[in-house]
Amino acid sequence: PFIWNAIGGLEKSLRSGASTFALENHGSVFEYLLQHPEEARIFNEAMQAAPYSDPAIAQALNLSSAEVVVDIGGGSGNLLANILERVSHLRGVIYDLPSTENSAHRRMKALERRFNFISGNFFESIPACADTFILKRILHDWDDTSALQILSRVRDVLPREGKIFIIESLMNETRIEDVCKDLLMLVLSGGQERTLSEFDELVTKAGLSIASTHQVRGFTILECVHRQAGEHVLQHSALD
């Protein structure tokens, strides 16, 4: 219900450029969910209700040199479980709010020996315990300033040869579905859907470089590494 109520404030968001939900509830949608655990439970279940893309994403990720993967904002852990099931040498961490810990441990029951849950706030810190980090459908929740802050936090703990995988549905400004999703993000969280060029600009500002992109089941995987002076390379591939 809180999502439908927020949509009623679309005009106000368009005029102000800010999240109507945050203005009317005196806090972000994520703060609201922390204060309303039952709605948070329903929301988290809905986010995990259609994990059809996770096996394909897990298969597409280039993890041959990885040892420890942190799924930032990984929720109940479906993507990480698919990854650990495919790559037997990996250890995995979900870094998320405490409200998701129980569901994550349930999903990871068969993988507990290779899994850990760390609770925290990615605006405050990122656990420096891995060589690979995943941000699936995280950055679209935030405006450019906040998204840059998140990326910079991850970059600060990223080893020299480490990787960050940003997984998002790229914005196509000619598709009405994408425009509607973009407006929904604005109303709910002040966030936005982004084009590839907008992600490239954001990643560059964070001191990173997009080494390659892969299209998988409606998502695009941006493989990011530490930026080298003068480097600007984009390699594209599509996986159906």
Tokens of 31: 């703060």
In whole angstroms, how far apart are CA 220 and each of 10, 49, 116? 27, 20, 27
Q: What is the rounded distance in angstroms from the CA atom of residue 68 to the CA atom of residue 91?
A: 5
Strands 208-216 and 132-136, by their bridges, are unpaired
Which amino acids are annotated catalytic?
140
Copy the structure tokens of residue 235.
């390699």
Q: What is the CA radius of gyration of the chain?
A: 17
Give the CA count within 13 Å in the CB-facing half-sphere of 51.
Answer: 18
Degrees (nearest 5) of the Cα angle 114, 80, 207? 105
